[in-house]
């Protein structure tokens, strides 16, 4: 299938770029002496996850129980559900376990631990540790850590260890700052593990990860596994963070020019926020790409052109900072473009399928799922 014949908007995967990204992270984990458990929430696509598995990944990480169910049905049995367990979801998690899924869950409170125990099932569980104040988790030196661990262990739950996520890495943009945060992520999770062991509690797993810290860590002594997700596609936020270039971005949205506002220097395309998402993650970064960076059909960036505005099904393409009076001549109606997204996870979830392209090979259609 010639991609120029696809109905637009359409989500495209540059498969060679994706495979290079997969190999890069796998090699990184191997060099650091840890296993890689990729976060498949970015793609939510079995075909992508199978390529990560074939490259050497050990298990997968998910953010929803639907992901866990879909990937288990596709043959992925070792699954970490890396979101705090809600009591109302325990029956669904238990159903997966009873079907043979090696599902590990996460808790960061005594209340959640008690809810897990109340099921009467020996769940595998990790305690989530807060390494940077970004989101969830218990502080590594808080007495609550030991209390949660004791509650789980004494209640018959299999305490596997600790996990953390340095989400604040998305706010950084220098190698030095990323290296410092990667070390903070490592040291605080290892500290939590040491405290659990000193209290006589098991802690075989120390799981860390975000794409920026995974690619910036100088060592992971004491860590057993690395988790990362967006690296499989990368995106403009990651380019601004500094862990990839635009030529590493594997996901784009194919769109068609449908009109112009010449006096404003605008080309109108058929990909609005329903295709790109509302994510404006580059707005506070060093380069603001609006709703996405504009490329030609071959994927080469068109210098200075970004998607500056978006309605539901209309996108506005214009030159950053200045009007382009010749845009209608340069991008006539019918011109197809590719838009690189701010946030690959958010843009991907707007589509039910990807079109994987590789050289002259016909595009392959890969199913994607969504929901919870």
Domain span at residue 312 reads 3-9+244-367
**Positive or negative torsion for Cα 270, 274, 275, 277:** positive
Q: Are 57 and 26 in contact (CB under 8 A)?
A: yes
CA distance 253 to 321: 23
> Residue 91 belongs to a domain with what CATH number?
3.20.20.10
Q: Looking at the domain assignment, is residue 330 inside a domain?
A: yes
217 and 251, same structural domain? no
What is the pLDDT, as a whole number, of residue 10?
A: 98
What is the pLDDT, as a whole number, of residue 2?
A: 77
37 CB neighbour count, 10 Å cutoff: 27
Of the three residues 198, 231, 264, the one that is the final residue of a domain is: 231
294 and 182, same structural domain? no
Phi, psi of 297 (to 5 degrees): -65, -25
Q: Looking at the domain assignment, is residue 253 inside a domain?
A: yes
What is the pLDDT, as a whole number, of residue 4?
A: 87
- pLDDT (tens digit, 9 = 90+) per residue, 97-108? 999 999 999 999
Phi, psi of 85 (to 5 degrees): -75, 125
Q: Looking at the domain assignment, is residue 135 inside a domain?
A: yes
Q: Looking at the domain assignment, is residue 305 inside a domain?
A: yes
211 and 145, same structural domain? yes
Q: Sheet of 124-128: strands edge to edge? A: 35-36, 225-226, 205-208, 158-163, 124-128, 102-107, 78-84, 60-62
266 CB neighbour count, 10 Å cutoff: 21
Q: Looking at the domain assignment, is residue 273 inside a domain?
A: yes
What is the pLDDT, as a whole number, of residue 354?
A: 98
> Residue 252 belongs to a domain with what CATH number?
2.40.37.20
219 and 281, same structural domain? no
50 and 115, same structural domain? yes
- pLDDT (tens digit, 9 = 90+) per residue, 244-294? 999 999 999 999 999 999 999 999 999 999 999 999 999 999 999 999 999
252 and 214, same structural domain? no
> Can you tell me whether residue 122 is helix, strand or coil?
coil
What is the pLDDT, as a whole number, of residue 146?
A: 98
- pLDDT (tens digit, 9 = 90+) per residue, 145-160? 999 999 999 999 999 9
Cis peptide before 336 (omega within 30 of 0): no
Of the three residues 231, 258, 277, the one that is the final residue of a domain is: 231
Give the list of residues 6+ apart from residue 358 with CB closer than 8 angstroms, or none.
Answer: 14, 15, 16
Structure tokens at 351: 């589509």
Phi, psi of 279 (to 5 degrees): -60, 125
Q: Per the structure, how many domains does the chain have?
A: 2
In DSSP terms, 310 is beta-bridged to 315
308 and 355, same structural domain? yes
Q: Looking at the domain assignment, is residue 238 inside a domain?
A: no
* Pairing state between β 353-358 and 361-367: antiparallel
CA distance 298 to 309: 23
Of the three residues 231, 254, 276, the one that is the final residue of a domain is: 231
127 and 190, same structural domain? yes
Q: Looking at the domain assignment, is residue 210 inside a domain?
A: yes
67 and 203, same structural domain? yes
227 and 248, same structural domain? no
Q: Looking at the domain assignment, is residue 372 inside a domain?
A: no
* pLDDT < 70 positions in the chain: 1
271 and 173, same structural domain? no
262 and 334, same structural domain? yes
């Amino acid at each position: 299938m010639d991609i120029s014949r696809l109905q637009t908007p359409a989500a495209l995967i540059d498969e060679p770029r994706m495979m290079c990204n997969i190999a890069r992270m796998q090699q990184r984990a191997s060099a650091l002496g840890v296993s890689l458990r990729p976060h498949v929430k970015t793609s939510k696509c079995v075909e992508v996850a199978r390529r990560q598995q074939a490259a050497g990944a050990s298990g997968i990480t998910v953010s929803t129980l639907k992901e866990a169910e879909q990937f288990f049905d596709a043959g992925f049995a070792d699954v970490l559900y890396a979101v705090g367990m809600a009591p109302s979801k325990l029956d669904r998690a238990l159903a997966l376990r009873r079907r043979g899924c090696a599902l590990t869950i996460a808790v960061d409170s005594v209340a959640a631990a008690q809810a897990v125990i109340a099921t009467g099932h020996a769940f595998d569980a990790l305690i989530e540790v807060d390494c940077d104040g970004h989101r969830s988790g218990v502080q590594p030196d808080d007495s609550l850590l030991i209390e949660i661990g004791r509650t789980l262990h004494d209640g018959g739950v299999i305490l596997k260890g600790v996990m953390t996520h340095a989400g604040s890495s998305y706010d950084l943009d220098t190698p030095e700052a990323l290296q410092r945060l990667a070390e903070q992520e490592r040291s605080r999770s290892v500290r939590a593990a040491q405290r659990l062991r000193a209290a006589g509690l098991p802690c075989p797993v120390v799981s860390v990860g975000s794409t920026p810290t995974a690619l910036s860590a100088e060592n992971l002594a004491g860590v057993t596994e690395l988790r990362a997700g967006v690296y499989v596609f990368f995106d403009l936020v990651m380019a601004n963070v500094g862990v990839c270039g635009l030529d590493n971005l594997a996901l784009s949205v194919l769109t068609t020019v449908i009109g112009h506002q010449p006096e404003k220097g605008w080309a109108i395309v058929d990909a609005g926020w329903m295709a790109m998402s509302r994510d404006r993650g580059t707005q506070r970064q060093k380069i603001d790409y609006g709703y996405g960076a504009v490329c030609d059909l071959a994927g080469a960036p068109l210098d200075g052109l970004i998607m500056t505005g978006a309605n539901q099904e209309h996108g506005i393409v214009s030159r950053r900072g200045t009007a382009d009076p010749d845009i209608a001549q340069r991008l006539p109606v019918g011109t197809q473009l590719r838009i690189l997204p701010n946030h690959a996870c958010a843009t991907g979830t707007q589509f039910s399928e990807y079109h994987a392209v590789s050289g002259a090979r016909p595009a392959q259609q890969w199913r994607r799922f969504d929901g919870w």
